[in-house]
Chains A and B, each alone.
Chain A
């Protein structure tokens, strides 16, 4: 389920990228860098938590499909040049997989009492802020 949601989220962003490039060239959209990959990944994770809260994961499949999702869709939408597509794919796949691991651990610990319903959104927000800090450190 995670990979399906991730593909949907990245494809929608790709569509926005293509349409903005064609009809609103002055618009500067965030490039497919680490911050954007993290944002799309945590968004997909939060959406998946509501759609399939008890979903089981095969981590190897999650990682491989995430690599393909970021690589293929970024290239198709023109968000990554031919020379950058492998870097984008690997970095995107790694980002998504690591975030999925951390997200699951955090969400499970927050999923009690009144915080349960908001746990995915709060976890996603915290993780995104952590990624922003990581970008600064790097």
Chain B
């Protein structure tokens, strides 16, 4: 019992240190997050210097955020993966071509689907596509991670559809009044 109480005290102290550190670094974390987001969007959509968040009220449940740039959009998509949701940022030019993509949240199986995040060959296949990415047809799946691969493809296609007008209720459609 005495040992358990001693352990509890250490636990509370460790939690206090962690919470204190987190609160102390909150400002730095927010600033770095903002800078990283701007840098990442610039990489995903070359030629765009500034990005404006746009409200999305379309019907595609995969689209969770939209940022408008000078040469296109960076679309945040959330699709169901094997273990958890896969959150992507997809850069799409005004012509409807994928210019880049990055996994923002991906918590798939270690050694299998989790590898999608850093697998340049796999992610690179989506660059240049125009909403026609189909696993097993135009895109090779990651070995042992078909569900994750399909989640990525679904997100990329949703992002392109937003820009090309497949989602007619969005503000990205050229012909919308």
Neighbouring B residues of A21 by C-beta, 8 Å: 22, 25, 29, 33
In the assembled complex, B32 has its CB within 8 A of some CB on chain A: yes
Neighbouring A residues of B16 by C-beta, 8 Å: 76
Q: In the complex, what's the smallest C-beta–C-beta distance from B90 to chain A, in angstroms?
A: 16
- State the interface size on chain B (CB cutoff 8 A): 33
Q: A22-B28, A73-B15 are in contact. Are A30 and B107 (CB under 8 A)?
A: yes
Using CB atoms, name the residue of chain A closest to B35. Answer: A25
Task: Give the CA-CA distance A25 to B7 in the complex, in Å.
Answer: 32
In the assembled complex, A115 has its CB within 8 A of some CB on chain B: no
In the assembled complex, A84 has its CB within 8 A of some CB on chain B: no
Chain A to chain B: the 10 pairs with minimum beta-carbon distance, closest first = A76-B15, A76-B18, A22-B25, A22-B29, A76-B19, A25-B33, A72-B15, A25-B36, A11-B14, A77-B18
A77 touches B4 (CB 8 A): no
A68 touches B11 (CB 8 A): yes
B103 touches A28 (CB 8 A): yes
In the assembled complex, B12 has its CB within 8 A of some CB on chain A: yes
In the assembled complex, B57 has its CB within 8 A of some CB on chain A: no
A18 touches B18 (CB 8 A): yes
B22 touches A78 (CB 8 A): yes
In the assembled complex, A52 has its CB within 8 A of some CB on chain B: no
Neighbouring B residues of A78 by C-beta, 8 Å: 22
Neighbouring A residues of B28 by C-beta, 8 Å: 22-23
In the assembled complex, A7 has its CB within 8 A of some CB on chain B: yes
Q: In the complex, what's the smallest C-beta–C-beta distance from A52 to chain B, in angstroms?
A: 13
In the assembled complex, A61 has its CB within 8 A of some CB on chain B: yes
Summed over the interface, the residue pairs from A and B with CB atoms below 8 Å come to a total of 89
CB neighbors of B among A1-44 (8 A): 3-4, 7, 11, 14-15, 18-19, 21-26, 28, 30-31, 33, 35, 39
In the assembled complex, B10 has its CB within 8 A of some CB on chain A: yes
Contact of B11 among A7, A15, A18, A35 (CB under 8 A): A7
Neighbouring B residues of A7 by C-beta, 8 Å: 7, 10-11, 14
Using CB atoms, name the residue of chain B closest to A23. Answer: B32
A65 touches B18 (CB 8 A): no
A18 touches B21 (CB 8 A): yes
A18 touches B22 (CB 8 A): yes
In the assembled complex, B82 has its CB within 8 A of some CB on chain A: yes
Q: In the complex, what's the smallest C-beta–C-beta distance from B103 to chain A, in angstroms?
A: 7
Neighbouring B residues of A19 by C-beta, 8 Å: 25
B8 touches A68 (CB 8 A): yes
Task: Give the CA-CA distance A135 to B109 in the complex, in Å.
Answer: 8
Neighbouring B residues of A26 by C-beta, 8 Å: 36, 40
Q: In the complex, what's the smallest C-beta–C-beta distance from B122 to chain A, in angstroms?
A: 16
Neighbouring A residues of B8 by C-beta, 8 Å: 65, 68
